Structure 1
């Protein structure tokens, strides 16, 4: 048992090329890249949605609104 020699790696490379073909490997890598980009976009969209749900309350506006309602009544 030792490390693989260059001949072992060449045989593995030939078998992989025979199984997947020359054009299939770049296609698989492109699909993988698209999947990663889609995942990242989904994660950033989720963070934006969480931030949009957060409501900021400003005390001065609520006090002014309450005073206006009180004066109108």
Structure 2
């Protein structure tokens, strides 16, 4: 029950009759340009993601003082 080559050719002939070869050529060109732009955009996006992590690989140190926060459990332990 698959689609044979003859059925595809009949469908193609009907499409050519309905739209004409000039319009189909324009649609094909537009589709090709869209695919080309999509691929170039994907490559640019990959280049940007590869550049970003190499800015600072060492990490950052935040200088400051650490103070202990007294919680309710700590207060109860001090009372006992």
Q: How does the TM-score come out when normalised to structure 1?
A: 0.55
Structure showing greater radius of gyration is 2
Question: What is the rounded CA distance, in whole Å, between the counterparts of 1:41 and 1:3 in structure 2?
Answer: 35
**Alignment RMSD, CA only?**
2.9
Structure 2 residue matching 1:23: 3-state secondary structure: helix
* Greater RCO structure (CA 8 Å; 6+ sep): 2
- Alignment partner, residue 17 of structure 1: 16
Give unmatched runs, 5+ long, in structure 2: 59-80
Instruction: Choose between structure 1 and 2: higher helix proportion.
Output: 1
Question: What is the rounded CA distance, in whole Å, between the counterparts of 1:50 and 1:14 in structure 2?
Answer: 46
Question: What is the rounded CA distance, in whole Å, between the counterparts of 2:13 and 2:23 in structure 1?
Answer: 14
- Alignment partner, residue 32 of structure 2: 33
